[in-house]
């Protein structure tokens, strides 16, 4: 009886969560996707240590399209998807301007 | 310890200044401009107080810039305060406009003397701090290149400072000879990849059949003549920077491979099966309108968008004439380094003519002309005789039209139109380096019509072709 009980116990493996952390980045806003007319529709932050963080395209992140090729400081939550880093923007400010929360 | 040199025949001027700074700073005097320059060659001074009459010279001309130049030649940072009587205030103001720091009027007021010198000294300190903070970014070897008075070039250097530490693709757009290669190297040397290779590829100079192999390498047996595996420029530039000059000339198949590099960060060698990770920072350069080429179907739009991530437009030399003295100085310094001659000056007539010339070949043309003049020049100053005559001709077409009142109105009208047409054709051929196709397009006529007009006016396209060096060699070092 004990052996059958032991056999029925299965090891449950929980799926690994994407690691989320709040960071502040400083870098250039660059375009990474375009529509048919050549207008940028998605952006990324290119940092001074040669990393790129793709910006989630809604909320505050959507506003960064108007700051393409400008230097910004961005705070947000970063998650990894494959070999890409994606940031959900909480607040940002153009270098030298007032913070936008 | 600060030091002052007073250049004036008025003893009271020297006494007043000496009393202001007695025992604090060194105050010396000189009776005239030549004696002052002689003293300056032996000792350095921070401030010069000079009578405006002494700057005017024997001809009593008001070329104060030329009169002040010898002082700056010895000490570029020296502050020059001009002294004048009340009647000569206008001349003192002219001298200040020509570059003097300030002016004082006779009889000198000690408080005013102290105030002017202290104000100048304070602003010097602030400027030095600003320059230090600004120059801290630039490597010492490149301080000469980033020197500019032109607002457009200041924007260019600001953009370079912004983008250099990132991995973003940069696209330089500018006419031939504007220094795209030099600026690409400037980015590389101020990036995190400065210790890694910088590989320049002139895409326009490589035959179409060999371009892919040159950029991405090939495997042994990939095509006839591929006797062994060859590494492409992207592999050699691994960890560093690759400059793709004249990127608009690359073949459609090379465009696809370049798109793969920029999109996925990978590429394959020609005839290869292995996907290789590309780890080179891409800088592209072009003198053509890539957007227009996309509209005409000659360049891939998706590749253009990825190259155009951070575009930097470089102004032609004729739009930054205020930088000509800096550029001339830099070229002369380099020529003196590599040749045995010791020529340190350029004749004022040449320096006056340079900003008026169109410079279709931009900085490269200037380097070529100066090198030619340097070789031909027998004296220690580059004189007008060593330069081609077109540098000194007036650009205004109205200056060459003469009116013969003995002719009828119809004949004068015909002659006037012919003169204007001839000058117009010469101008557009000069701006397009003798290219018939480009010139016809600008003029809005067919190439056949242009040929007919050129034959009528005896114009040869060869006369407008600027001799080019290989673009693989970086012109300024």
- CB burial class (10 A; 0-12, 13-18, 19+) of residue A84? exposed
Q: Under a CB-based contact definition with an 8 Å cutoff, are residues B367 and B345 in contact?
A: no
**Beta strands of B228-374 (E only): which ranges?**
230-231, 241-245, 266-268, 275-277, 281-286, 310-313, 345-346
What SS3 state is found at A6?
helix
Q: How far is B184 from chain A (nearest CA, A)?
A: 17
pLDDT value of residue A16: 46
Q: Which residues of B touch A27 (CB under 8 A)?
A: 166
pLDDT value of residue B409: 84
CA distance B199 to A94: 34
Nearest residue on chain A to B263, alpha-carbon basis: A32
CA distance B33 to B30: 8
Interface test with A, best of B164, B168, B191, B293 (most A CBs within 10 A): B168
Q: At what angle do helices B151-163 and B180-189 cross, to 10 degrees?
A: 40
Q: How far is B272 from chain A (nearest CA, A)?
A: 25
* Interchain pair B168, A28: CB under 8 A: yes
Please state, rounded to an integer, the average pLDDT across all residues of chain A: 80
Q: Which residues of B touch A85 (CB under 8 A)?
A: none
CA distance B330 to B324: 10
Is the pLDDT assigned to residue A9 strictly greater than 60? no
DSSP H helices in A9-77: 60-63
* Interchain pair A30, B301: CB under 8 A: no
Q: What are phi and psi of B30, to 5 degrees?
A: -140, 145
* Interchain pair B167, A27: CB under 8 A: no
What are A90's two structure tokens?
């909480």
Smallest Cβ–Cβ distance between A30 and the set B165, B302, B310 belongs to B310
Smallest Cβ–Cβ distance between B305 and the set A38, A49, A71 belongs to A38
* Interchain pair A50, B192: CB under 8 A: yes
pLDDT value of residue B324: 94
pLDDT value of residue A15: 47
CA distance B439 to B427: 9
pTM: 0.63
- C-alpha atoms less than 13 angstroms from C-alpha of B140 in its C-beta half-sphere: 0
pLDDT string in tens for chain B (477-residue length): 678 999 999 999 999 998 888 777 889 999 988 899 889 888 888 899 999 988 886 556 667 877 888 887 777 778 899 999 999 898 899 888 888 889 999 999 999 898 888 888 777 676 666 656 655 688 878 888 888 989 999 999 999 999 999 999 999 999 999 999 999 999 999 999 999 999 999 999 999 889 999 999 999 888 888 888 899 999 999 999 999 999 999 999 999 999 999 999 999 999 888 899 999 999 999 999 999 999 999 999 999 999 999 999 999 999 999 999 999 999 998 998 888 788 888 998 899 999 999 999 999 999 999 999 999 998 889 999 899 988 887 554 444 445 667 778 888 888 888 888 888 888 888 888 888 999 998 899 999 999 999 888 888 887 777 544 333 333 333
* Interchain pair A38, B165: CB under 8 A: no
**Number of C-beta neighbours around residue B79 at 10 A:** 21
The C-alpha R_g of chain B, in whole angstroms, comes to: 29
Q: What are phi and psi of B206, to 5 degrees?
A: -100, 130
Angstrom distances, CA of residue B367 to CA of B250, B328, B388: 28, 8, 13
CA distance B444 to B431: 15
CA distance B173 to B287: 6
Q: In b/e form, how buried is each residue of B385-397, taking b as 16+ CB within 10 angstroms? A: ebbeeebeeeeee
pLDDT value of residue B143: 82
């Amino acid at each position: 009886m004990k052996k059958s009980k032991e056999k029925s116990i299965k090891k449950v493996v929980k799926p690994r969560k994407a690691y989320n952390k709040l960071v502040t980045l400083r870098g250039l806003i660059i375009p990474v996707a375009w529509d048919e007319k050549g207008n940028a529709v998605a952006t990324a932050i290119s940092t001074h240590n040669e990393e790129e963080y793709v910006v989630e395209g809604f909320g505050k992140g959507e506003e960064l399209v108007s700051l393409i090729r400008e230097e910004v400081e961005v705070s947000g939550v970063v998650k990894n998807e494959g070999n890409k880093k994606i940031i959900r923007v909480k607040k940002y400010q153009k270098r030298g301007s007032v913070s936008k929360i | 310890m600060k030091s002052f040199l007073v250049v004036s025949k008025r003893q009271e001027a020297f006494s007043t200044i000496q009393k202001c700074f007695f025992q604090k700073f060194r105050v010396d005097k000189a009776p005239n401009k030549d004696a002052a320059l002689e003293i300056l060659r032996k000792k350095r001074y921070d401030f010069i107080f000079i009578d405006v009459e002494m700057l005017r010279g024997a001809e009593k001309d008001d070329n104060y810039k030329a009169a002040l130049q010898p002082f700056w030649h010895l000490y570029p940072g020296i502050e020059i305060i001009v002294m004048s009587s009340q009647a000569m205030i206008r001349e003192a103001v002219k001298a200040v406009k020509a570059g003097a720091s300030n002016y004082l009027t006779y009889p000198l007021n000690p408080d005013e003397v102290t105030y002017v010198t202290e104000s100048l000294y304070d602003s010097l300190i602030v400027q030095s701090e600003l320059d230090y903070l600004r120059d801290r970014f630039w490597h010492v070897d490149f301080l000469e290149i980033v020197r500019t008075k032109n607002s457009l070039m200041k924007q260019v250097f600001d953009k370079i400072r912004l983008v250099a530490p990132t991995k973003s693709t940069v696209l330089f757009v500018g006419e031939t000879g504007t220094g795209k290669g030099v600026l690409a190297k400037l980015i590389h040397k101020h990036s995190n990849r400065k210790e890694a290779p910088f590989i320049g590829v002139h895409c326009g100079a490589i035959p179409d059949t060999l371009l892919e192999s040159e950029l991405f390498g090939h495997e042994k047996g990939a095509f006839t003549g591929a006797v062994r595996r060859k590494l492409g420029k992207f592999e050699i530039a691994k960890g560093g920077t690759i400059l793709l000059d004249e990127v608009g000339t690359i073949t459609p198949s090379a465009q696809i491979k370049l798109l793969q590099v920029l999109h996925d960060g990978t590429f394959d060698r020609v005839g290869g099966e292995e996907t290789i990770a590309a780890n080179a920072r891409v800088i592209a350069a072009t003198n053509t309108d890539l957007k227009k080429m996309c509209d005409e179907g000659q360049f891939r739009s998706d590749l253009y968008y990825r190259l155009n991530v951070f575009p930097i437009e470089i102004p032609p030399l004729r739009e930054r004439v205020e930088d000509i003295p800096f550029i001339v100085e830099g070229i002369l310094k380099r020529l003196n380094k590599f040749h045995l001659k010791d020529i340190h000056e350029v004749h004022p007539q040449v320096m006056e003519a340079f900003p008026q010339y169109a410079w279709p070949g931009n900085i490269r043309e200037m380097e070529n002309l100066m090198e030619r003049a340097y070789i031909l020049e027998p004296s220690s100053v580059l004189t007008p005789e060593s330069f081609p005559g077109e540098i000194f001709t007036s650009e205004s077409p109205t200056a060459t039209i003469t009116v013969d009142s003995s002719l009828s109105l119809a004949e004068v009208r015909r002659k006037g139109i012919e003169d204007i047409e001839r000058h117009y054709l010469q101008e557009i051929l000069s701006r397009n380096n003798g290219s018939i196709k480009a010139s016809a397009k600008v003029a809005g006529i067919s190439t056949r019509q242009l040929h007919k007009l050129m034959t009528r006016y005896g114009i040869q396209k060869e006369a407008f072709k600027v001799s080019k060096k290989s673009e693989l060699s970086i012109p300024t070092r």
